[in-house]
Structure 1
Amino acid sequence: MPTPDVLIYTRTAGYRHDSIPDGAVALTELARELGHPAEITEDPGAFTPGRLARCAVVVLLSTTGNVLTAEGRTAFESYLRGGGALLAVHAAANAEPDWPFYGRLLGTRFAGHPEIQRATVLVDAHDHPATAPLPERWTWTDEWYNFTSDPREGEVPGVRVLARADETTYRGGTHGEDHPLVWCRRLDRGRVFFTALGHAPETYRTPLFRAHLKGALTWLTT
């Protein structure tokens, strides 16, 4: 049988990040390092039961707006509940605003961000492959996303927050002392990983951030 692949979906129906091409290249390289071929697409027709059955992971790379068809949503939900895996990166928190399942899946939605600035990421979990390579306090420059709610308090329980933003180190945070940035969860037989980081093109050429993404893919495929 063919090796399950990584489907990198980059369609946008709202704001489009300049970093998407760099992110797609980086994720392709990281997937191959883990032994998985990768396909980059903006075709919503890829979300069929047959195509998704061949996927080790689906990546939503800074997707914005409604980017799936009704049939695609049904197929994607079935894939995830049946044992599939999702890596949602950065603006993927602003995707599918009209699909309640997706909001429940992530546990929250994008609410806005202040200007790009340097801040500190607080890494809470060094036993997870996505955050194990990161320092306990990581100085980083990004768009620091605010969310509509704490993802731990969503309709579906089981969110594990792996890293948070230290709001004392930048301007514009709205969550206070507990500002989730990176989290993971299981959904039925499937797995979901979200990182709010990844705004700038150069991000995807930075070794620590690439190690973060590679760790996420490792967790999703093991």
Structure 2
Amino acid sequence: MPPRLLVFTRTTDYRHDSIPAAVDALRGLGSFGVDHTEDPERLAAPLDGYAAVVFLSTSGAVLTDAGRARLTGYVESGGGFVGVHAAACTEYEWPYYGDLLGARFDRHPALQPGRVLVEDGDHPATRHLSAVWEFTDEWYDFRESPRGRVRVLLRADESSYEGGGMGDDHPLAWCHEQGGGRVFYTALGHASEAYADPGFRAHLRGGIAWAARLTSR
């Protein structure tokens, strides 16, 4: 049987219209079985049977205290965690989550085309990409750059769009180890159209595979 993902899409703040397309895209990757839930009690139950937990455009406070404890124990003991897009707009009042994800959302300009720069092409989430990737998204700004605490994979070229607020050091995707677990985050994925893009789907597949320890690099 393929490794399974627990995909969590609960929102208590802004809700992305792209969530159904995103869940369908993960199911269509073919590499993973997908259990999808918006029930916070599911995160308070044992997670050991999952190769990774995916927070897919979650927002606001989405977990119970029991769920926070369960997710912490799962990651620290070797479980994989993946955050996609608005996962950075989640659990602002839980300090561990900020450390787990690597950075917290601050603001974004209007949805528009721009350029993604591949900073680290030696990762399963980026090996398929050319050095410059034309994409359309919201180009999330973060409260601070996670650089120095994470392995930065992609960054935004703020000269390619209007309204960027981080300057030259604007990471968009990264990974790191947390306790015994692996964490991958990508800020991309606002619009439903993104999840039909072969390059973006390969980006997700590679990042999830890395977090789930299905690949060593």
TM-score interval (norm. to shorter): over 0.9
**1:65 alignment partner, one of 60, 66, 86:** 60
Structure 2 unaligned runs (5+)? Answer: none
1:91 is matched with 86
Pair 3,122 (structure 1): closer, same or farther in 2 beyond 3 Å: closer
Is 1:186 the counterpart of 2:172? The answer is: no
Q: Which runs of 4+ in 1 moved over 3 A?
A: none
Is 1:28 the counterpart of 2:27? The answer is: yes
Is 1:160 the counterpart of 2:155? The answer is: no
Kept in 2: contact 1:80–1:191 (CA 8 A): yes
Q: Which secondary structure state, in structure 2, belongs to the residue aligned with residue 162 of structure 1? A: strand
Pair 186,87 (structure 1): closer, same or farther in 2 beyond 3 Å: same
- Length, aligned pairs only: 213
Q: CA deviation at 1:202?
A: 1.0
Per-residue CA deviation, residues 128-169 of structure 1 (Å, 9 max, x unaligned), is: 01011111101111011000001125xxx3x00001000111
Kept in 2: contact 1:3–1:37 (CA 8 A): yes
Pair 14,126 (structure 1): closer, same or farther in 2 beyond 3 Å: same
1:48 is matched with 44
Structure 1 unaligned runs (5+)? Answer: none
TM-score, normalization: structure 2? Answer: 0.95
CA RMSD in angstroms comes to 1.2
**2:131 alignment partner, one of 136, 141, 151:** 136
| Distance in 1, Cα, partners of 2:157 & 2:131 | 12
One-letter amino acid of the counterpart of residue 16, structure 1: R
One-letter amino acid of the counterpart of residue 196, structure 1: A
One-letter amino acid of the counterpart of residue 104, structure 1: D
Per-residue CA deviation, residues 4-49 of structure 1 (Å, 9 max, x unaligned), is: 410010100000000000000111222xx22x32111101111135
One-letter amino acid of the counterpart of residue 7, structure 1: L
One-letter amino acid of the counterpart of residue 5, structure 2: V
| Distance in 2, Cα, partners of 1:97 & 1:104 | 11
Kept in 1: contact 2:44–2:64 (CA 8 A): no
One-letter amino acid of the counterpart of residue 105, structure 1: L
1:220 is matched with 211
Is 1:116 the counterpart of 2:111? The answer is: yes
Could you tell me the percent identity over the aligned residues?
A: 51
Per-residue CA deviation, residues 86-135 of structure 1 (Å, 9 max, x unaligned), is: 11000000001110000111222000100111110000111101011111
One-letter amino acid of the counterpart of residue 148, structure 1: R
One-letter amino acid of the counterpart of residue 197, structure 2: T
TM-score, normalization: structure 1? Answer: 0.93
**1:102 alignment partner, one of 82, 93, 97:** 97
